[in-house]
Structure 1
Amino acid sequence: MNETLLKNIHGLAGQSDLLDQLMIFITDKAIYLFGLILLLMWVFGNVKTKKVALLAGITGVIGIVINVAISHIYFETRPFVTLGYKPLIDHAADASFPSDHTTGAFSIALILFAYRKKIGTFAIVLAVLTGFSRIYAGLHYPFDVLGSIVVSVILALIITKLDFLFEKPIQKIIDLYLSIFGKRSERRNQNM
């Protein structure tokens, strides 16, 4: 089933140059768009928005660390290695499961959605496109992406339940930032 789904999705590659270029852009650059979203929230947001941006970034990093641990426990060969085809973009023949790009994208997107519905909705759409593009480009099996989503959902649920543990360290980072770059009037201790 995993291989069949991969062949159906990756089989779309090469049929439309425009779609191929869009999927290559998303698979290559979406992670930078997430970084840009967090940076803009940090620079232009109020203290509460800065807290959400920082928490989302921390969650993304934790998700990647979890992926590294998983890939050391269970190694899945990349589909282009196993099935012998050339993916849309060059990629190392490292672990396929779970997808780091998809985990990072969904971990960030789910935290944004939990605290900021509008930008979170956009981020979830971008995360879905990221996961799809990884399959389309032939870099991951569908279950690699599904596994990443499961990791991200579990992580986001844990982080949102335990966000109080991050409150003081995040506030210290924000206070330091504001003491250097911000206005004293922005220093208000708001809950996430």
Structure 2
Amino acid sequence: MNYSLFKSINQHAGHHPFWDGLMAGVTNNALFIFAIVLVLMWLFGKNDMKRTVLYAGITGIVALILNAVIAHIYFEPRPFVSHDVNLLVPHDADASFPSDHTTGAIALAFAVLYVNRKLGSVMLAFALLTGFSRIYVGNHYPFDVAGSIVVAGIVSLVIYKLYPILDPLVNGIIRIYNRIPFVPKSKESARTIDFK
């Protein structure tokens, strides 16, 4: 079923110039776009926004570390290694499950979604498009992407629950940043997020 679903999506690759360009562009630039969004949030947002950026970074890093552990325990070859596929974006023949691009994008989006529904929803939609693009260009199976969503969801929930423990560290980083001269900063004092 995994391969059948993959074929139903990947079979269109290489036949539609617009979609090929869009999917390849999303695949190649998604994490760069997310990084730009987070940098802008940090530079121009208030302390609560900076806190969100730090938690998003923590969530993304932990999720990718978990991905690496999973890939060492269970190795799934890339679709283009095991099958004849329409490969739009070349990739190393490393572990296919789970998708690092999708995990990173979903983890960042979930972290933002917990505290900013509007921005988080847009980021989540783009993260899901990123996952779909990974299948379209021939780099991942659908189950790789589904597994990534599960990993990102679990990690983001755990990090969210650990806010009371992590908040002193996060607030400390923000206070240090706000003491640096000549950098964009908010004049408000760092405080704990109220999730009620």
Q: TM-score, normalised by structure 2?
A: 0.94
Q: CA 1:34–1:183 in 2, change beyond 3 Å: closer, same or farther?
A: closer
Alignment partners' CA distance in 1, 2:107 and 2:150: 10
The equivalent of 1:124 in structure 2 is: 124
Q: How far 1:190 sits from its partner (Å)?
A: 3.7
Q: How far 1:182 sits from its partner (Å)?
A: 5.3
Q: How far 1:84 sits from its partner (Å)?
A: 3.3
Q: How far 1:85 sits from its partner (Å)?
A: 3.3
Q: How far 1:184 sits from its partner (Å)?
A: 7.6
Q: CA 1:44–1:80 in 2, change beyond 3 Å: closer, same or farther?
A: same
Gaps of at least 5 residues in structure 1 are none
The 5 Å alignment of 1:36-47 reads 36-47=36-47
The equivalent of 1:145 in structure 2 is: 145
The 5 Å alignment of 1:158-173 reads 158-173=158-173
Alignment partners' CA distance in 1, 2:121 and 2:41: 15
Q: How far 1:191 sits from its partner (Å)?
A: 1.8
Alignment partners' CA distance in 1, 2:168 and 2:60: 19
Alignment partners' CA distance in 1, 2:185 and 2:138: 48
Q: How far 1:86 sits from its partner (Å)?
A: 5.1
The equivalent of 1:185 in structure 2 is: 187
Alignment partners' CA distance in 2, 1:5 and 1:187: 50
Task: Give runs of ≥4 in structure 1 deviating > 2 Å.
Answer: 181-188
Alignment partners' CA distance in 2, 1:46 and 1:9: 42
Alignment partners' CA distance in 1, 2:37 and 2:6: 30
Q: CA 1:183–1:154 in 2, change beyond 3 Å: closer, same or farther?
A: closer
Aligned-pair identity (%): 45
AA partner of residue 138 (structure 2): G
2:36 counterpart of 1:31: no
Alignment partners' CA distance in 2, 1:189 and 1:17: 49
Alignment partners' CA distance in 1, 2:94 and 2:55: 29
Q: Is the 8 A contact 1:178 1:187 kept in 2?
A: no
Deviation track 1:37-92 (CA, whole Å, cap 9, x = no partner) reads 11111000000110001101110111100000000000000000000335101110
2:92 counterpart of 1:92: yes
Q: TM-score, normalised by structure 1?
A: 0.96
Alignment partners' CA distance in 2, 1:50 and 1:9: 38
Q: CA 1:84–1:172 in 2, change beyond 3 Å: closer, same or farther?
A: same
Alignment partners' CA distance in 1, 2:63 and 2:185: 33
Q: Which range is displaced more, 179-188 or 19-28? A: 179-188
The equivalent of 2:13 in structure 1 is: 13
Q: As a proportion of its length, which structure holds more helix?
A: 1
Alignment partners' CA distance in 1, 2:171 and 2:190: 10
The equivalent of 1:64 in structure 2 is: 64
The equivalent of 1:74 in structure 2 is: 74
AA partner of residue 188 (structure 1): A
CA RMSD of aligned residues (A): 1.3
Secondary structure in structure 1 of the residue aligned to 2:119: helix
Q: Which range is displaced more, 150-159 or 123-132? A: 150-159
Q: Is the 8 A contact 2:10 2:85 kept in 1?
A: no
Deviation track 1:166-192 (CA, whole Å, cap 9, x = no partner) reads 101111111111000356833232426
Q: How far 1:14 sits from its partner (Å)?
A: 1.6
Secondary structure in structure 1 of the residue aligned to 2:114: helix
AA partner of residue 78 (structure 2): R
